A = this chain, B = another copy of it.
Amino acid sequence: MVNKIDSRIQIAEARRIQRLLATCDRDERDAMLLAIAKQLEHDAQLLFAANQIDVDAATRDQLPIPLRKRLVFDSQKLEASCIQIREVAVLDDPLRIVAERRVLDEGLLLQRISVPIGVIGMVFESRPDALIQIVCLCLKSGNAIVLKGGREALATNRALIDSIRRALMPFAAGSGWIVHLESREDVNAMLVMDDLIDLMIPRGSNEFVRHIMDSTRIPVLGHADGLCAIYVDSKVDLEMAVSVITDSKCQYPAVCNAVETLLIHEDIASRLLPDVKKSLDRYSVVIHGDEKVSKIIGCIAATSKDWDTEYLNYEIAIKVVSSIDEAIDHITMHGSGHTDCILTKDEAMATRFLTAIDSADVFWNCSTRFSDGYRYGLGAEVGISTQKIHARGPVGLSGLTTSKWLLTGQGHIVATYSGENAKPFIHKNVPVKGIMR
């Protein structure tokens, strides 16, 4: 067990070691990643045995079935994790990318480069494979990581951390940049360490993420709700609309990018709704419809609460609207700024929707379920941000970096560029070559 004082010392030390990790070149960091994959495979039986302890306890304590399922770490999960680690290793280095390069004056060169954020605090749920993913993303991006996993996965998480530490022993940066906290009190202790932790990334329920946001001065990266909407415009391919709506609702309804609200233009409602109902009936989707909807198909009468409900289930709210403006207003008022989609053949309407809707992800003629780091091609995903500051939408490695300005001169002083005979600046942008070594 780690107590409050110990955890502070450990995190301060991780912060120190992070500076070393930040100076490792990509080959070193990638070698560390590959060593982790190899060690986890080597320690497979140890890991499965530790996981059995957690699974047995969860069964004995009669924890909910979905939680017990997420808790399992078997050979399939191990294999998937190791594939992902090796994929992260071959991704482009997110560090030292030159974002801007400008000659301020002769011999005075300004560059903005990407650097690690520093120390990331992560509190996450029961899935042990999430631990592996998080540690590896932080390693690739040169960040220290303070982890607090679910109590029900403690034996597995300990075994995973032990294995990772063994893998990192031969490397100069070692594993001191990983801090594994085990108690609930440690979470509260983390939240006041705004001098040591640069960013908190909570993964869990909406209530949990909001609780973290309310309890700390540390910036928090995380999404709260995912109340996604689809608006079907009057000019639309009916078959396509039914297919996209069904996929958005039923392909995996328990997640934040599943559609919850369907808005249909009145000119198309009577032709579209029967087909939508037929398709959703195959998944026994419960439909909450407004008055106009209920005149076309059988449904439960929607109440005002339905427009603000994230069902996360086989359930959907449907409303008939008289114009694209009504749809935009509805989404602006009730949406959560996650993912919203328009289905239309009319490019002008699509452009209007894409411009007017202020959500992290705005789609045209495709399923809301696409808003995801893996599908976006970001490699692994840290999470999906519905905040507007720093990173928005699916967050990959670049969300774990910040930038630093480097200015190199030859004795240049500001007095030269001030006062009556001030020399003017050149301010000439120079093409960016990529990675700075």
Binding site for B on A (CB under 8 A): 19, 22-23, 102, 104, 108, 110, 112, 115, 117-118, 198-199, 213-214, 217, 219, 237, 240, 243-244, 246-248, 251-252, 332, 350, 354-356, 358-367, 369-371, 375-377, 387-390, 392-394, 402-415, 417-418, 425, 427
In the bound complex, what is the Cα–Cα distance between A348 and B431 (angstroms)? 24
Q: Which residue of B lies closest to A361 (CB)?
A: B405
Q: Which residue of B lies closest to A410 (CB)?
A: B365
Q: Which residue of B lies closest to A342 (CB)?
A: B408
In the bound complex, what is the Cα–Cα distance between A132 and B412 (angstroms)? 31
Q: Is there an interface contact between B414 and A354, defined as CB atoms closer than 8 Å? A: no
Given known A-B contacts A19-B332, A362-B405, A413 and B367 have beta carbons under 8 A apart: yes
Q: Which of these, B118, B251, B364, B405, contacts A409 with CB under 8 Å?
A: B364
Q: Is there an interface contact between B403 and A392, defined as CB atoms closer than 8 Å? A: yes
Q: Is there an interface contact between B413 and A375, defined as CB atoms closer than 8 Å? A: no
Q: Which residues of B contact A112 (CB under 8 A)?
A: 393
In the bound complex, what is the Cα–Cα distance between A404 and B356 (angstroms)? 12
In the bound complex, what is the Cα–Cα distance between A231 and B16 (angstroms)? 20
Given known A-B contacts A365-B411, A366-B108, A410-B365, A371 and B405 have beta carbons under 8 A apart: yes
Q: Which residue of B lies closest to A240 (CB)?
A: B411
Listed by A's residue number, 23 A-B pairs whose Cβ atoms lie within 8 Å are: A19-B356, A19-B358, A108-B366, A110-B376, A117-B388, A199-B388, A199-B389, A219-B219, A243-B413, A251-B415, A350-B408, A359-B404, A360-B404, A361-B407, A362-B405, A363-B407, A365-B410, A366-B409, A370-B407, A375-B414, A377-B427, A389-B402, A394-B405
A64 to chain B, nearest CB (A): 25
Q: Which residues of B contact A110 (CB under 8 A)?
A: 376-377
In the bound complex, what is the Cα–Cα distance between A104 and B346 (angstroms)? 22
In the bound complex, what is the Cα–Cα distance between A405 and B361 (angstroms)? 5
Q: Which residues of B contact A414 (CB under 8 A)?
A: 247, 251-252, 367, 369-370, 375
The oligomer's copy count stands at 2
Q: Is there an interface contact between B413 and A244, defined as CB atoms closer than 8 Å? A: yes
Q: Which of these, B19, B369, B402, contacts A392 with CB under 8 Å?
A: B402
Other than A104-B377, A110-B377, A369-B413, give 12 A-B pairs with Cβ distance below 8 A. Answer: A115-B358, A117-B389, A244-B412, A354-B408, A361-B407, A363-B407, A364-B407, A365-B412, A366-B412, A369-B414, A389-B402, A390-B390
Q: Which residues of B contact A358 (CB under 8 A)?
A: 19, 22, 115, 118, 404
In the bound complex, what is the Cα–Cα distance between A409 and B198 (angstroms)? 38
Q: Which residues of B contact A252 (CB under 8 A)?
A: 414
Q: Which residue of B lies closest to A111 (CB)?
A: B354
Q: Which residues of B contact A246 (CB under 8 A)?
A: 413
Q: Which residue of B lies closest to A403 (CB)?
A: B392
Q: Which residue of B lies closest to A363 (CB)?
A: B407
Q: Is there an interface contact between B411 and A363, defined as CB atoms closer than 8 Å? A: no
Q: Is there an interface contact between B364 and A408, defined as CB atoms closer than 8 Å? A: yes
A295 to chain B, nearest CB (A): 28
Q: Is there an interface contact between B237 and A411, defined as CB atoms closer than 8 Å? A: yes
Given known A-B contacts A356-B23, A410-B365, A251 and B198 have beta carbons under 8 A apart: no
Q: Which residues of B contact A363 (CB under 8 A)?
A: 406-409
Q: Which residues of B contact A407 (CB under 8 A)?
A: 361-364, 366, 370-371
A45 to chain B, nearest CB (A): 29
In the bound complex, what is the Cα–Cα distance between A369 and B413 (angstroms)? 8
In the bound complex, what is the Cα–Cα distance between A161 and B203 (angstroms)? 44
Q: Is there an interface contact between A389 and B19, defined as CB atoms closer than 8 Å? A: no
Q: Which residues of B contact A22 (CB under 8 A)?
A: 355, 358
In the bound complex, what is the Cα–Cα distance between A370 and B417 (angstroms)? 10
Q: Which residues of B contact A418 (CB under 8 A)?
A: 251
Q: Is there an interface contact between A104 and B365, defined as CB atoms closer than 8 Å? A: no
Q: Which residues of B contact A410 (CB under 8 A)?
A: 240, 365-366
Q: Which residues of B contact A355 (CB under 8 A)?
A: 22-23
